[in-house]
């Protein structure tokens, strides 16, 4: 997602159709069109600043940024018996919302919670 925003921002900046001298000479380009282009650029630039990927989560501040840009209503209730994948959002009774950052082994994962990183068990058989 961040790469797409960066590419779109670069495309807008490098757009051959929008050059300052052309804007000054061309009577067909209204102030409204210019304002619309600026608003689109500002929106893309703002989104690029907010976007954070799982690999970038190293602190509580990063965790908060990531949580704010996703739908946390889809969080899965944590169970030692369930299998998880990188990117899964889990809800733990004690630690709260967590992001599965890495699957280390078939039964161990690294999860970043508000309090920090924790090693968690997963995929343990029942009984």
- What are 10-31's pLDDT values in tens digits? 666 666 555 555 545 556 666 6
Q: What are the residue ranges spanned by the domains of the chain?
A: 2-50, 56-121
pLDDT tens digits along 68-121: 988 999 899 999 999 999 999 999 999 999 999 999 999 999 999 999 999 999
Where does residue 92 rank: exposed (0-12), middle (13-18), buried (19+ CB within 10 A)? middle
CB 38 within 8 A of CB 2: no
pTM of the model: 0.59
The number of angstroms, rounded, from the C-alpha of 64 to the middle of its chain's C-alpha atoms is: 11
- Residues with Cβ within 8 Å of residue 122, at least 6 apart in sequence: 80, 81, 82, 83, 84, 107, 108, 109
Contact present, 84 and 76 (Cβ < 8 Å): yes
Residues 6 or more apart in contact with residue 29 via CB below 8 angstroms: 22, 23
* pLDDT tens-digit map of 50-66: 577 888 899 999 999 99
């Amino acid at each position: 997602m961040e790469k797409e925003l960066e590419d779109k921002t670069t495309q807008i900046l490098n757009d051959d159709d929008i050059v300052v001298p052309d804007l000054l000479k061309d009577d067909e380009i209204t102030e409204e069109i210019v304002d619309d282009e600026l608003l689109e650029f500002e929106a893309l630039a703002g989104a690029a600043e907010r976007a954070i990927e799982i690999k970038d989560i190293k602190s509580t501040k990063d965790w908060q940024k990531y949580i704010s840009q996703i739908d946390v209503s889809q969080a899965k209730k944590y169970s030692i018996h369930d299998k998880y994948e990188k990117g899964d959002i889990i809800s733990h009774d004690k630690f709260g919302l967590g992001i599965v950052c890495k699957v280390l082994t078939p039964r161990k994962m690294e999860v970043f919670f508000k309090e920090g990183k924790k090693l968690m068990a997963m995929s343990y058989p029942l009984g």
